[in-house]
Amino acid sequence: MATSSATMRKVSLRNLAAHKVRLALTVLSVVLGTAFVAGSFVFTDTLSHTFHGIFADVAKGVDVQVTGKQTDGSGVPLADIEKIKTIAGVRAVDPQVESQIVLLGSDGKPVQGGGAPSMGQSYSPPGQLIGDPYKFISGTAPSQSGQIALNKGALKLAKLNVGDTTKVLVASAGTVNVTISGVYDTKSDTGGYIGALFARDQALKLFTDGNHVGSVNVAGTGLSQDELKARISQALPDLTVKTGKQVTDETQKDVSTALKFVNYFLLAFGAIALLVGTFIIYNTFSMIVAQRLRELALLRAVGASRKQMSRSVLFEAVVVGLIGSIIGIAAGVGLAYGLRALLNSFNVGLPNGTLQLSPRTVIVAMLVGVIVTVFSAYTPARRAAKIPPIAAMREEFASAGTSLRRRTILGAIFGLIGAAALVGGAVSEAGGGAAGLVGLGALALILGVLLGAPALARPIVAALGAPIGRTFGSVGRLARTNAVRNPRRTAATAFALTLGLMLVTAIAVFGSSAKKSINGLVDNGVTADYILTGPDAIGVPVGAAVKVAKVEGVKRAVALEPVHVKFNGSDQQGTGVDGSLADVLPVAMLSGTQDLTGHNILASKDKADQNGWKVGSTVVVTSPDGKALSTRVAGIYAHNQLLGDWMTSAQLYREVTPANRRYDMVVLIRAQPGTDLSTLRTRLVQATDSSLVVKVQDREQFKGTQASQIDNLLAILYGLLALAIVIAVLGIVNTLALSVVERRREIGMLRAVGMLRPQVRRTIYLESALIAVFGAVVGLALGLTFGALFVRTLRDQGLDQIAIPYGQSLLMLVLSAVVGVLAALWPAARAARTRPLEAIADL
């Protein structure tokens, strides 16, 4: 008698309903993975929608925008503004003057806007402004030098009020005393944005070289944007002219490009979580099929076909995937909200906006959740279809397992291929090719370990369990036996944790190596007693180096400056050096002299070889404003990560860098012999007080600052990987819970012959700890190997030191055992409550 498909679906649904705990744990694995995917899309879609709303009006009312040829050049000459006004079809001209600033709050400290811009710009009155006028909430616009108007968000961040006085720092002009004249509102008024409006005359003095402005907005009359663009381009061929639509489109494209990276970054961690969840779902369905052998055999005996059997299991997977995906989408919205709140609590500077749940997000999350679940259940479904009806009804059939021989051989092949590729990458020249080879080797070795994990489980768990057996006696030996009884299950459960810890460990190796490499660069390369640094946005303000050079006890203060030029047809960045490096940052000269005067340059050996330079070679460089200058190679030095590929004089730096774009990256200070360094530090702090943002650090403090930046990045990565670890822990809970159900009769028998409830619980605890530590040992071994080899491929980028975080690795092993015990609390309690007679009688 054949069984209908409708009947099989009913059986599947009733089976799911009858095992609610098992359903909940399986659904949770899907929920966590899909929540990360949905949350990534919701988060980036929200940012995209908000930013596009902010920048939609970036060129409102602007028909044409005129800028300099190079973005880092001086800009548009003032004389050309007058030419633009005379062009037929031009109705209004609005010069744009702006620059990065630092605003001091009511407490006298710099206002932290997170990652949002902090800009000073010229105020354009309604008669001159192209676009919507500023909406002043309180006070008035700045009408004279010394007055500024702030956006509402900045005023709140700074805890200032209209009429208050404060200070503003401009990198190229120093500190300016200002009074708050008014408060205005803008679409950009969220997320830490600081916009200070200055009177035009003062803005020109502070933010330009006096002869140029950054850009010019133009409104026309009686002409299309393209026609007006053509006329201005013809009149001013040396400038860049774009239509207002082009400016808006390019701005929004840049925003989209930046957000795509964020989206891909988050989705990568979502994929990791889903990959870990795949092992859990596979394990769950494998155990479900094993526990339902008799039920499935009975269905076969009453007429269910093999296809119906496999479809029944896959139908359950579809239901689990749908439920998990729906809940995951809702959880994803919550995750996006929580992520935004978390980032805002750290003052990252993200704009606020309504959370965006697009149809694309719903469809992708649903598809991902269902496909991953069905894919994970496919092998168990095939196994269910192959069940012989009569054989499956026998008790011994359930414990029979298939041979691991083929799988182990295949795993060994992949492992050998991976090992060979890893060795090849390790001995290759540093660079992309070596990194790619290591990446391929890592992938092959992971596949090898995945396939060979069941074979590895027995010896490794047996070795890990030996001390447990000696310590806990029969309970420990039973736990060890249970952990290796089904090596496939143990391997699948542990491998989820293996993946998570592998990534955490690899990242830890990278972070430790980066910190050790930086420490090595500073210890071996920097001989300065103190280092002056500033914020990344503005660096050390111009003039600070001159001030500290005059401080009593200072022998030498050397400023390092960023030089941007073109040669050989491409953009190049070098280092300007204002002073002698002799006793602050020694340079190993290979040929020539260390003469950094006039238009001389020094090149690293790699740079010289790349360009065919020798001592005495002439190199023509082009400034951002298009000015060509001839330079001479005065010397060639051994590669120095701190100084870069080439250096030049402070004179050349000033000649190629517009005055309003100048700043120092760092200032290196050497004390006079016999000077008390703590006293000197006090003097240096006093000398740089007016610069507001300058930090005076010794070498150890400088290394600590760099290390803290690396730690902050690692904390973000660890936080994102935490989800994969959580899923892996839930997998251990799920496996143990199902294992308790599967061994119900066995546990009942043990209870009947005298095993106490605490002993039952202890057995489950130890079994769980063994599985977790097994996964951790394999994960740590892989992570340490991959991390060390990837760092080795980056030795040409300055990561020339490999550091193994032994303490962190040991801590992760201990924590894995603790996590294993915690994961076993509920399954162990459930096992301890087993009634002996009922369990023995249960067929």
- DSSP bridge pairs for 601: 633, 648
With CA atoms as reference, report the closest residue to 526 among 709, 685, 696, 668: 668
Predicted local confidence at residue 397, as pLDDT: 45
Q: Measure the CA–CA gap between 642 and 645, rounded to whole angstroms.
A: 9
Give Cβ neighbours of residue 536 (< 8 Å, ≥ 6 apart): none
Q: Per-residue pLDDT tens for 211-267?
A: 888 899 999 888 899 999 999 999 999 899 999 889 888 887 877 777 777 777 777
pLDDT of residue 843: 46
Three-state secondary structure of 367-398: HHHHHHHHHHHHHHHHHHHCCCHHHHCCHHHC
Band (pLDDT 50/70/90 cuts) for residue 292 is: low
pLDDT, residue 578, reads 92
More confident residue, 679 or 320: 679
What burial class does residue 573 get, using C-beta atoms within 10 Å of its C-beta: 0-12 exposed, 13-18 middle, 19+ buried? exposed
Are the CB atoms for 836 and 752 separated by under 8 Å?
A: yes
pLDDT at residue 391 is higher than 60: no
pLDDT above 70 (res 191): no
For residue 454, the 8-state DSSP code is H
Q: Do residues 34 and 324 lie in contact, with contact meaning Cβ atoms separated by under 8 Å? A: yes
Q: What is the pLDDT of residue 184?
A: 92
Q: Which of 192, 181, 98, 106 is nearest to 140 (CA)?
A: 181
Confidence of residue 140 (pLDDT cuts 50, 70, 90): very high
Bridge partners for 670 per DSSP? 556
C-alpha 541/C-alpha 544 separation (Å) is 6
User: Are the C-beta atoms of residues 217 and 62 closer than 8 Å to each other?
Assistant: yes
Residues 286, 402: Cα–Cα separation, whole Å: 13
pLDDT of residue 700 exceeding 50: yes
pLDDT band at residue 32 using 50, 70 and 90 as cut-offs: confident
pLDDT at 179 over 90: yes
Q: Is residue 301 pLDDT above 60, yes or no?
A: yes
Could you read off the pLDDT of 529-563 as tens digits, one per residue? Answer: 999 998 776 788 888 888 899 999 999 999 999 99
Tell whether the model's pLDDT for residue 827 goes beyond 50.
yes
* pLDDT tops 50 at residue 773: yes
pLDDT of residue 432: 63
SS3 call for 74 = coil
pLDDT of residue 286: 72
β pairing state of 147-151 and 174-185: parallel
Instruction: Please check the confidence at residue 399 and state whether its pLDDT lies above 50.
Output: no
What are 254-264's pLDDT values in tens digits?
A: 777 777 777 77
- Say whether pLDDT at 809 is over 80: yes
Max intra-chain CA distance, the chain: 104
The pLDDT assigned to 683 comes to: 92
Inform me whether the pLDDT recorded for 370 exceeds 70: yes
Residue 332 has, within 13 A of its CA and on its CB side, a CA count of: 34
Residue 75, SS3 per DSSP? coil
More confident residue, 404 or 450: 450
Nearest to 551 by CA among 688, 457, 445, 662: 688
Residue with tokens 């979502």: 270
Contact 527, 587 (CB under 8 A): no
Q: With a cut of 90, say whether residue 407 has pLDDT above it.
A: no
Average pLDDT estimate for 268-281: 73
pLDDT at 188 exceeding the cut of 60: no
20-24, 432-436, 480-484, 661-665: least confident range: 20-24
Give long-range contacts, CB 8 A cutoff, 24+ apart: 109-112: 110/169, 110/535, 110/692, 110/693, 111/154, 111/157, 111/158, 111/194, 112/157, 112/192, 112/347
Average pLDDT over residues 386-395: 59
More confident residue, 425 or 578: 578
**Mean pLDDT taken over the chain:** 83
Helices then strands, each counted (H, E), the chain: 25, 24
Q: Rounded distance, CA 619 to CA 612, Å?
A: 11
pLDDT of residue 821: 86
Q: Given a cut of 50, is residue 307 above it in pLDDT? A: yes
Q: Which of 306-320, 397-411, 512-526, 738-752 has the lowest mean pLDDT?
A: 397-411
Q: How confident is the model at residue 751 (pLDDT cuts 50, 70, 90)?
A: confident
637 pLDDT above the threshold of 90: yes
pLDDT for res 417: 93
Angle at 511 between CA 575 and CA 727, to 5 degrees: 140
Average pLDDT estimate for 592-618 = 92
Cα–Cα distance for residue pair 242/254, rounded to 1 Å: 16
- Euclidean distance between the first and the last CA atom of the chain, given in angstroms as a whole number: 26
pLDDT at 203: 92
* Interval 705-717 mean pLDDT: 82
Q: What type of residue sits at position 191?
A: G
Per-residue pLDDT tens over the stretch 479-527: 888 888 888 878 878 887 888 888 889 999 998 998 888 888 888 888 9
- Give the tokens for residue 491: 């391997």
Specify the pLDDT at position 824.
Answer: 83
Q: Measured between alpha carbons, how far is 457 from 304 in angstroms, rounded to an integer?
A: 36
Q: How far apart are CA 830 and CA 843, in angstroms?
A: 19
The answer on pLDDT for 149 being more than 90 is yes
Supply the pLDDT for residue 592.
92
Residue 400 has pLDDT above 50, yes or no: no
Question: How many Cβ atoms sit within 10 Å of the Cβ of residue 343?
Answer: 17
The two three-digit tokens of residue 807, written as one number: 């303490």
Kindly state the percentage of the chain with pLDDT values over 90: 25
For the entire predicted model, the pTM comes to: 0.77
Residue 255: predicted pLDDT: 75
